[in-house]
Structure 1
């Protein structure tokens, strides 16, 4: 008996799924004072600075934001769409190095930043009198902050200061210049002058150092013993007087 044979041919229909990632480029750009990229703006202290942010390549109304560092700048309603202006009036040394950024409201990655380079001369403070006890340490601090950075020099009684090894020490940063004197002596009496100069000008400050006599220091044990003796004497006097009164 012949067997029936059946031939089954499986048919698989592959399903292809194609995903397309659409990258939509808005093409919108910003410019600040005609700069389409980040830039540094140099100015002088006391001068007003105007920054104008403009939307480019957009046919619709675009809202703008301004930031000073990380803080948002408050803008009036008529100063937000397509064009936005801010004014720093006047720019001061506290604005030096600060970044102002204009951003697109709907896409904050679209932005232009401006770093202010505010130039100012050294602003040295008024003269100062310093009284210090002999054998103590003293530090004279002079404001040396300026942009461009200035150089400080120290004088004693209008002559270039000669640094005594292990007693005089100078320390300077971009903001201060310090003169430290260890264990001051009577010979340190005098006027110390800090002079700071930069390409924009200079300033000077006088420190009138007065070294006072060293105050006598009593041993702690002797003071305590004296207090105890006085206290006991007073107590014995009170007791003796009380006994005398009782006998009368």
Structure 2
């Protein structure tokens, strides 16, 4: 019996030593759940190594798409550099596998922290009784709360019948039936990122102008058509008299 158990143990040990495996390491180091935390414009260095015997070739994939590698960066060990890290890299999965055995693989996922990109001042001229919509980029990881101000004071949404919305991509501030005394001023949207430790702001200088009476084009066209039709009917009704006059 001891001989049998010894043989089984030796077999299992042999299998564990000869099993193919792929290991992916990262700088910054891989954290909890296989995530690599980084920031915008930083660099992430990935390395992949294989325990397979022979000239086993490695492949890299980003979100399922094959990454092109030079010939000297494929056998046994392969390196990949992500620089500069962008917003589009947030959530991206980098997978390394054996070319001839896709089951043998390893992967990491990037988690990119970034704040909204807010800057500059837009100038708007809007007529009284018209509508207003101000938009700010609110994309951030982790998500942030957008705060609106008017003339340096936190905006009271109930005064001026404002509506503030944020779908995680764009924050909007809207108002209808503008009035100069209620809506004119310097607006700003501000976002504070707890991770980045930064505050970004975009401003809007809103000037409410007098309402301009618009030319009633449709009504005028309709009036011209009526006048022309009336003139033609009048001409047709008098055609016999005009014809007799011309014959004389």
Q: TM-score, normalising length from structure 2? A: 0.76
Query: 2:30 aligned with 1:33, yes or no?
Result: no
Match of 2:199 in 1: 202
1:3 maps to which residue?
none
1:161 corresponds to: 155
Is the CA contact (8 Å cut-off) linking 2:24 and 2:46 kept in structure 1?
A: yes
Which residue in the other structure is 2:7 paired with? none
**3-state SS of paired residue (2:178):** coil
CA contact (8 A) 2:119 2:203 kept: no
Match of 1:191 in 2: 186
CA distance in 2, matches of 1:39, 1:218: 65
The aligned residue for residue 212 of structure 1 is 209
Aligned length in residues: 221
Quickly say closer, same or farther: Cα 1:167–1:74, change in 2 above 3 A: same
Q: Equivalent residues in 2 for 1:230-241 (5 A)?
A: none
Partner SS for 1:72: strand
- 1:72 and 2:69 correspond: no
Residue pair 1:93, 1:118 contacting (<8 A) in 2 also: yes
CA distance in 1 between counterparts of 2:78 and 2:72 reads: 9
Question: 1:213: how far off?
Answer: 2.2
Compare 63-72 and 24-33 and name the one that shifted more: 24-33
Consecutive unaligned residues in structure 1, runs of 5 or more: 1-23, 236-242
Instruction: Give 3-state SS (helix, strand or coil) of 1:184's partner.
Output: coil
Give the structure 2 partner of residue 18 of structure 1.
none
Whether contact under 8 Å (1:41, 1:115) holds in the other structure is yes
- The structure with the largest alpha-carbon Rg is 1
Offset from partner CA, 1:71-98 (integer Å, 9 cap, x none)? 1100111111111111011212221111
User: Do 1:130 and 1:207's aligned partners in 2 also have CA atoms closer than 8 Å?
Assistant: yes
Verify: 1:150 aligned to 2:147, yes or no. no
Comparing both structures, which one devotes a greater share of its residues to helix? Answer: 2
